Structure 1
């Protein structure tokens, strides 16, 4: 940080003009000068430089955040497209499964009809076997 200019000669003169002797004025001036040297005071210029540094850092940070936002938006768009593709694929697969189920259901319906017919043929065959001796007698034979 910059040092504030301190004119010791002028300060001594002011102290002497206010009634102090030269030795007292020099002693006070020495103490004041030393306190200025050890004091870590910020000047207006120091504060302005710091403000500019902070502003520059915020500008860089804002730019980085904007870049991250753009990147995230791009990635989200890609993910949304991928999700839409997966949905289309799932819809197609479900439609194919529905068609297969419909086809299988029709096959089962046809098989059920065949089994119903077979059942009646078996019943008719069993009845014929059970009553094979009785049937000719019923017809007079």
Structure 2
């Protein structure tokens, strides 16, 4: 980054304000050497933003590739697991239906015995 800093104009303004010439020139040179090198321009910021955007895009691409790799490694395994779970749920549902039916039969039988006794 190269910034144009008018040390002559700066020193002249200081002299016009009453600062002795040697001090004005020293101040202008110090500003050029120590202050101006620390300034950031819009171009510097735009370049930094572009670099960060590029790094974010590269990271996004890498994450997508890794997730695709994981998906391909586990593809089919989840389907098998889902089928196992569905089968177990179906079996438990059938067992509960049988138990409920048995309870209904027992309840009706108990009701019939109670009605006969009266």
TM-score range, shorter chain: 0.5 to 0.7
Q: What is the TM-score when the length of structure 2 is the normalising length?
A: 0.57
Contact kept, 8 Å, 1:3 with 1:43, in 2: the verdict is no
If you compute each CA radius of gyration, which structure gives the higher value, 1 or 2? 1
- In structure 2, the gaps of 5 or more residues are 85-118
d(CA) in 2 for partners of 1:12, 1:31: 11
Q: Within 1, Cα distance between the matches of 2:78 and 2:21?
A: 85
Instruction: Identify unmatched segments of 5+ residues in structure 1.
Output: 88-141
Q: CA deviation at 1:15?
A: 0.9
Segments ≥4 residues shifted beyond 4 Å: none
**Relative CO higher for 1 or 2, CA cutoff 8 Å, sep ≥ 6?**
1
Aligned to 1:20: 19
Distance 2:31 2:39 in 1: 14
RMSD over aligned CA atoms reads 2.3
Number of the residue aligned with 1:107: none
**Corresponding position of 1:70:** 68
Question: Are 1:59 and 2:47 counterparts?
Answer: no
How many residues are matched? Answer: 82
Q: Give a deviation string over 1:7-62, Cα, whole Å, max 9, x none.
A: 1111011111112232221122122222136x434322212111111111110110
Whether the 8 Å contact between 1:12 and 1:25 is mirrored in structure 2 is yes
How many angstroms apart in 1 are the aligned matches of 2:65 and 2:47?
27
The residue aligned with 2:115 is none
